[in-house]
Amino acid sequence: MKNNIRVERAIVRMTQQQLAEAVGVSRQTINAIELCKYVPSAVLALKIAKTFSKAVEEIFTLEEND
């Protein structure tokens, strides 16, 4: 699963720590998601999308092998 969290954070000038606090996870979790080393739960994906006022599909996309 790919994501554009880093791009969305840059647009609103938000740090990983700020996003982590907004959605209730650790900064390390946000980092792992951005690096595609961790796939978030549906609830966490929805919280991240809501933080950026975007649809989940605008933040996360499936790859061919997913």
Q: What CATH number corresponds to the domain at position 44? A: 1.10.260.40
Give the count of beta carbons closer than 10 Å to the beta carbon of residue 54.
14
Would residue 62 count as lying in a domain? no
Q: How many domains does the chain have?
A: 1
- Give yes or no for a contact between 62 and 5, defined as CB atoms under 8 angstroms apart: no
Digits of tens for pLDDT over the chain (66 positions)?
A: 999 999 999 999 999 999 999 999 999 999 999 999 999 999 999 999 999 999 999 999 998 887
The answer to the question of residue 20 being in a domain is yes
What per-residue confidence (pLDDT) applies to 18? 98
Q: What's the domain range around 35?
A: 2-56
Q: Is 61 among the domain residues?
A: no
Q: Residue 13 has what pLDDT?
A: 98
Question: Phi and psi for 3 in degrees, rounded to 5?
Answer: -150, 160
What pLDDT is stored for residue 66 in this prediction? Answer: 79
Please report which helix (H) or strand (E) contains residue 46, including its range: helix 42-51
Residue 65 within any structural domain of the chain: no
